[in-house]
Structure 1
Amino acid sequence: MATAPAPAEAFLKRLIDLVEQERAAEESESALLFSNAPISLLERNGLALGNLSGQTSIGLGGRLLVELERPSAYHTSPTYPPHDFRPGDVARLRQHGSGGGAAGGAGKKGGKEDKGKGKDDGGVDAVVYRTTATKITLAVDEPPDDFILPDRIQIVKVANPTTFIRQLFFLNRALRQLDAPLSPLLAVLLGQKKPSVAQRRPADPALSFIDDNLNESQREAVDFALSSEEVALLWGPPGTGKTHTLVEIIRQLVLSGKRVLVCGASNLAVDNILARLSVPHPNFHEPIPLTRVGHPARVLSGLTRHTLDAQSAQSDTSELLNDIKSDLAALEGQLRGGTGGKNRIRGSERKKMWLEVRDLRKEFKRRQGGVVSEVVSKAKVVLATTHGAGGRMLDQFDFDVVIIDEAAQATEPACWIPCLKGKKLILAGDHLQLPPTLKSSDRLTKSLSTKNAKPASSPPPPASPDGKLSLSSDLEVTLFSRLLAMHGPTVRRMLKVQYRFNRKICAFPSRELYDGELVPDPSVEDRKLSDLEGVEADEDVDEPVIFIDTAGQAMYERAAEDGKFGSDSKSNENEAEIVRQYVETLVNANVPPTSISIISPYNAQVVLLASLVHPQYPDVEIGSVDSNQGRENDVVIVSLVRSNEHAEVGFLRELRRLNVSMTRPRRQLVVVGDSDTVAQGSAFLKKWMAWLEDEALVRVP
């Protein structure tokens, strides 16, 4: 009889199964979208953009940069319509109208697989480098030989399987380590050992803090993170200075001679820490040697000097690298500069030049790769996404401490990549904000539109911790929430003072979600809109919380039009018009449009709001609740959308999404919705509606 697998083995195999499920879900979605879908359908869904023109240049690492615009010959406006292309996404660039379907013959050349090239009728796969209202720039790592930028271009968003391949690789590496004695860190992560944590106490008075402005809870968190031996969790509710606290921890670790790997669930999270660390502090005189690992296209432009590519180019071989880059740009300019005419290079001469381009590219990478180890070995702090930490350039390096920011928004398999590179782990995040976005959860999300759906309204509660390892139900169970559930509050410290919103905005989330311990700093507790220069004070403008209640007004939602961007979604035209009118009121009171954000849980409503508001106020920020996690503004207007006779609220009942919604504003929160419908969605929604009716300035449209 076969023996049952050990708990740790079963746990890791369960994570592997969940990664495979997520990978299959993403591949299935891609197949449905791209196999036979006409390009016009993908454009309406924001997954493709067509009839573009472009120009090329050479970027960091010899990459080909392609800047795309909407030419007036094919478009009435140079501004891009709503779309789903974001920096770091993978997009296929090709001749407009090529192929029989959106996917065409992707990855094929002459009937054989063309690995790594992503070719498709002359197309290439590229990384979205930067996006603005009128321009999208792509970075192509290795353009195929003889690739010429088409006169008319289309781009299609494609899935990137590399993330899953890397997660599976490191989970299998962890499985193999079970055959040997586990390190103290892995023993704690796999429930074989209880974490060695200091008892709750005030911050060590002997610890000399670099930043004199840390509050008491931040100091306690820093001390706790430094003194814990294997694992420490920093619970950072909105606006509590989580990044500020992490920077102090990193500096203290460097002072003590530790090498640190800093990761984040997103490139933005990593870059926020990098931006803070790269600014000298008066109490920390020596600049910290920093290296940012990752594709330069995914790094904020102002920080590219810290990237591995840029630092490699500044080494002793930089002059030669620049010469090779110049030669490469000149040759590619000649070869890609035109499609015809008497000056076009043809025949054997063209073939010879392409061979030279290929050789130059190899030489560039060889010389640049030769200094990678030297650059990384000199860095005291290496920064990367959880995915980027698994790159080959870090294979030979281990770290004293691994820090993962936004750990409550990263899947556990993603966290295992950096975890296997460190002796100690510090996780920072807030498990009461949105969990990771998952394709394998889409079926659940869609089911929420039914009245009887019973989604989880909160993350797994950290109740009755017993230190035992149990199998994860799905990938929404993050490493942060699992460790908190296993070991309880002894492994975490909470940041309790928030520096974002005023007293009234703080009241409800503090009471209902943060045990009444989240308090505003005195510098923000009385914030109001009229504090902004030129803003006229009146009852509406200076009220911290306004609720525009549409109950009884028959302002019903409607399903999004099939085939449109944001389909399988909901919109509410009456709410959108109410929001537009309120924006107008604010602007008339001299509130700058840039100080106003509009958010909604539904993509269809986001598109509708943009069509109504942006023609008159293009600087007002409009986006989904999910895309606004981590962001803030002076005024945040939330359009709840749901209004129907059946009390269906869909994923409004997700407590974490509501938490993100209500904690974005600094000075004023405006909620537009139907209290009769929304209050019936869950016990938490009922409490929120009751609080709004009691504490907010209630308006009826």
Structure 2
Amino acid sequence: MMNDYSIKEFLSFKGKDDKQERRDLADTVFSWTLKDIFNRNLYKNKIQKIPKIFPSFEEYVTYFTIPLMEETRADMCSALEGFSHASYIEICRLDHAKDNSYKISVANPVKETNSRENYVPKEADIVILSKDKPKHISELSRNGWRYTVAIISKGGKDGAMSDNDAIIRVPHAFSFDLHLSTNRLNEPLFAVFLFNILTNNRIWKMLDFNSFGSSTIIQKGVMENKMLSASIVQSVPNKDFVNAFSRWNLNDSQMNAIIDCASAREQLASSLKLIWGPPGTGKTNTISMLLTLMLIKNCRTVTCAPTNTAVVEVASRLLRLVEDSSDLFQSDIVLFGNKDRMRIDGNLSKIFLEDRARRLLECFMPHTGIRYCISSMIDILNNCERHYELYINDLKRKDEERRVLELGDQLRRVSIMGDQCREVMEDDLFGEAIEMSREVMDDKCTQLVADDVGGGGELMSLSEYVKTRFDALAKDLKYFIEIFLDDFPRALISKKALGEMHDIQTLLHIMEDLLQHDSNADRMKMQLKIDVLSPPPITSIANLQDFITRKSFSFFHLVYARDLFLEKLELLSGQLSIPDKFDKHGIEEFVLQHVHSVLCTASSSFKLHGVDMKHRPLEVLVVDEAAQLKESESLIPLLLPGIKHVVLIGDEYQLPALVKSKGKETTDKHGKSLRNPIEAAAVVHIVKKLFKESVNLRQNLVVGVVSPYNAQVKLIQEKLGKTYDLHDGFKVKVRSIDGFQGGEEDIIIFSTVRSNSTGSIGFLSNINRTNVALTRAKHCLYIIGNATTLSKSDSVWQKIVFDAKNRSCLFKSEDDKDLQNAIIRAVIEQDELEDIINFDSLHISSPKPKGFNKSGSRGKKKN
């Protein structure tokens, strides 16, 4: 077991030349024995009360070290308690990389719904390597083979490796039986997933104060106790503020909060601001409008939240505000994180870092990107006849090569036939036949080549060739210019280059129209020559369009358009500043260095510590759902270089930070999270009805299904399947309460799960959890549950049930025959026939919504 230290001992230890111990949290995990992991008192005497003021920043961060170790131990203990239900995958191949690291190749995941053999290795996963599939924790050391704990250093999706490959690190070398030539395992070896320590490992690294500097904000708060007041300071809005506010429908509280936060940036001193408000008071809108104002002020901000849901919600609203403004650009915003967990859709793909880097990579490539496209367009317009000659010669060459190959093939066949006929033919007759065959083949080949080149249907005329080449290059040029306008940091594009791009977009359409309506090759030769005699040149698109309009057809239409188009292309080519970045990582770093607004989770902001921003550091940190963020995790964005101003947004009545230690979640007799199949059936039925109503009214609708238990979330997801995935106007999102923190949907269906005669509702009695669950709906809220259980709970749910009855919003499930049948089918599937006998216990509430208006009214359902 790793040695434990008090705060003073740890500070003394840090002074020694022994930093390897803290370089990676996995080293601590590796040091634990099974006894250590299951010892809930392992760090009991090591954790000290955290004071309000600290003598130094070093001591402040050190106070979080042992609690973080305890939380990691608790996570691992919880994972091992559910070892028999853990996901796993078989390791097929194992190659030694370096030291105690190995490259592994795993089998394809089993796609069956009930299979646990579906684990896909991801960075920072803690796994157990075992010769047996996970059955019981006691089997880890069976037959004398000790288990080995390992960490995934890099998963297939984290780098250039395939999805089935990964790099693992183990605490020490271990023995395994390999085939010498293929490195394939001769005996079974499984990787059993326990839990992921990516966030904890990032926090661990931030607590290493020798690697990261201090923060002025933290120094004022935890060392000097001089935090700025969280009260609103009235400020006189400047011109930029007034122009922005005129476009937004803000109440006084929102306006004052935004003015206060924005004004603080104008001061030299660092500042900390707090925006507080209960659910439904517009905190998320306030954040998005504050960020919009920061964009107007060209201020570099980073916006974080503890969950992907909250970050995506802010990003979506900010993007909508930017798209509605003619003065702001989406290229100044970037969102990054786990694409799958964020569920990035088509619209958010516009600002998602990974997608933006992919598009810019296409644009930057030297032999296929925008520079190549511009130079190729200039070349074809200046030298169309030379290119046409090269085209003909290339066609001849390729055709001759093809004919020679065909002739050789036919000669080989003739030779074979000759060998077969040699026995029955005279030698002189045989030679004569061969010679005649060759002459015929030569004549045929020559004629075929002449036919193709001389008008056999494959050869394009000059005008056709120019149009074809122009259309292909124009398509690429349009695409690359759009990428530049939408994805390239706007601060790096000069106003002149921006103007040239817009002019080129217009001229491309003009040129396409002119080339389309002129098929005379001789005239095109003259029009595309540089030295054509013409009237005084046209120097603007407006003059060109006026000339084309006045002259219904003129020899000089294409001449003028081509000259102006070439001029604009030459100017843009000289003004483009494209970085020498030809890999995804380099382009991502380039984008992060220059965009104005960065959005990510607090944990993911660790990526920004590796980006050089000395030329223009981030200034303002905005933290949404701050009450849900652990203080130690908040260090990740707070310690970003350059941060001078911090804005915290939250509500202390929502979910607090989740820290696992001695307590554990309520489970059923099988050790699984609770679920209620009858409520799941009710949810599926209601979603089905909402879908039909949405289709009939031709109105887009997003339905959120929320439950406090992960098992219920999974059950509902299984029941819904992919039924609504292909319907663009109707979406269903099923998540836990924690997963919905910070998000809102049109309609929310809340499945409470608990159903018993004692009124026990577990952690559903927590007012913070209830607060989050009941405030996610924009227009309509359904609550599905056992009214008797909820009313006996001696919690806020008594008042909720009472209120539903008073407003006539409490209904029995049997009032809806279709719903009643759906529930009966669910009962039969679960073989719980006693529930049919006691059917009066099943209730449903809430009037059925007749259409989805935006009045803001809420309905409630309880069963």
TM-score for both structures, normalised by structure 2: 0.47
Kept in 2, the 8 Å contact 1:87–1:128? The answer is: no
* Correspondences of 1:414-425 after superposition (within 5 Å): 414-421=633-640, 422-425=643-646
Give the number of the structure whose alpha-carbon radius of gyration is greater.
Answer: 2
**Aligned residue among 660, 663, 676 for 1:439:** 660
Q: Is 1:393 the equivalent of 2:610?
A: yes
Mark the runs of 5 or more structure 1 residues left unpaired by the alignment.
Answer: 54-63, 106-110, 119-123, 130-136, 324-363, 447-558
- Paired residues of 1:139 and 1:297 also in contact (CA < 8 A): no
Aligned partners of 2:134 and 2:192 also within 8 Å: no
* Per-residue deviation, 1:296: 6.2
Match status 1:603 vs 2:701: no
Match of 2:53 in 1: 7
Identity %: 22
SS in 1 for 2:652: coil
Aligned to 2:496: none
Residues 655-680 of structure 1: CA deviation (Å, up to 9, x unaligned)? 12212222233333222333443234
In the other structure, the counterpart of 1:23 is 72
Which of residues 219, 228, 231 is equivalent to 1:186? 219
Match of 2:738 among 616, 623, 626: 626
Question: What displacement does 1:428 show?
Answer: 2.3
1:14–1:695 distance in 2 versus 1, CA, 3 Å: farther
**Aligned match of 2:816:** none
Q: How does 1:446-525 map to 2 (within 5 A)?
A: 446=666
Match in the other structure for 1:162? 198
Report matched runs for 1:82-101 at 5 Å: 101=134
Alignment-derived partner of residue 451 in structure 1: none
Q: Which amino acid aligns with 1:210?
A: A
Given that residues 128 and 150 in structure 2 are in contact (C-alpha distance below 8 angstroms), is that contact kept between their aligned partners in structure 1?
A: no
Aligned length: 498
Q: Distance in 2 between matches of 1:615 and 1:402?
A: 38
Contact map agreement 2:305 2:624 (CA 8 A) in 1:
yes
Cα 1:602–1:293 shift into 2, 3 Å:
closer
> 1:600 is matched by which residue type in structure 2?
S
Per the alignment, residue 626 of structure 2 pairs with 407
Letter of the 2:600 partner, please give it: A
Query: 1:213 aligned to 2:317?
Result: no
**CA distance in structure 2 between the partners assigned to 1:366 and 1:147 by the alignment:** 34
User: Superposed, which structure 2 residues align to 1:227-626 within 5 Å?
Assistant: 227-228=263-264, 230-235=271-276, 237-277=278-318, 279-285=322-328, 289-292=332-335, 294=337, 300=344, 302=346, 303=349, 306-307=352-353, 310-311=356-357, 314=360, 318-319=364-365, 374-391=590-607, 392-394=609-611, 397=614, 398-421=617-640, 422-440=643-661, 442-443=663-664, 445-446=665-666, 560=668, 562=670, 567=672, 569-576=673-680, 579=683, 596-609=703-716, 621-626=733-738
Distance 1:24 1:117, change over 3 A: closer
Provide closer, same or farther for how the CA distance between residues 147 and 407 of structure 1 changes in structure 2, counting only shifts above 3 A. farther
Separation in structure 1 between the aligned mates of residue 801 and residue 243 of structure 2, nearest angstrom: 43
SS of equivalent to 1:699? coil
In the TM superposition, what is the alpha-carbon distance from 1:383 to its structure 2 partner? 3.3
CA–CA distance in structure 2, aligned partners of residues 575 and 294 of structure 1: 33
Q: 2:127, 2:150 within 8 Å by CA — same for their partners in 1?
A: no
For residues 689 and 142 of structure 1, what CA distance do their matches in structure 2 show? 53
Question: Quick one: structure 1 residues 609 and 273, their matched pair in 2 at CA, closer, same or farther if it must change by over 3 Å?
Answer: closer
Would you say the 8 A contact 1:88–1:298 is kept in 2?
A: no
**1:379: how far off?**
2.7
- Using the TM superposition, give the Cα deviation of residue 653 of structure 1 relative to its aligned residue in structure 2, in angstroms: 0.7
Query: SS where residue 644 of structure 2 aligns?
Result: strand
Shift of 1:654: 0.7
Inter-partner Cα distance in structure 2 for 1:147 and 1:218: 63
SS at match of 1:641: coil
Cα distance between partner residues in 2 of 1:692 and 1:85: 44
Partner SS for 2:196: coil
How far apart are 1:195 and its partner, in Å? Answer: 0.3
Q: CA RMSD in A?
A: 5.5
Q: Which amino acid aligns with 2:87?
A: A
Structure 1 CA distance, aligned partners of 2:105 and 2:634?
31
C-alpha distance in 1 between matches for 2:73 and 2:593: 38
Alpha-carbon separation, structure 1, partners of 2:121 and 2:807? 40
Measured after TM superposition, the shift of residue 232 of structure 1 is 1.4
* CA deviation vs aligned residue, 1:57-95 (integer Å, no higher than 9, x gap): xxxxxxx99997756xxx5xxx68899989988669999
Unaligned 5+ runs, structure 2: 1-6, 9-48, 93-103, 141-145, 170-180, 265-269, 370-579, 726-730, 813-842, 844-863
Q: Given the alignment, which residue of 765, 780, 785 partners 1:668?
A: 780
Pair 395,428 (structure 1): closer, same or farther in 2 beyond 3 Å: farther
**Counterparts in 2 of 1:651-666, with a 5 A limit?**
651-666=763-778
Counterpart contact for 1:410–1:436, Cα < 8 Å: yes
The 1-side partners of 2:350 and 2:107 are apart by: 18
Task: Sort the Cα spacing of 1:234 and 1:81 in 2 relative to 1 into closer, same or farther, 3 A.
Answer: farther
* Distance change >3 Å, CA 694–CA 169, structure 1 → 2: same
Aligned partner of 2:459 in structure 1 is none
Q: Could you tell me whether the CA contact under 8 Å between 1:184 and 1:193 is conserved in 2?
A: no
What SS class does the counterpart of residue 18 from structure 1 fall into? helix
The worse-fitting range, judged by mean Cα deviation, of 247-256 and 137-146 is 137-146
Structure with a larger share of its residues in strand: 1
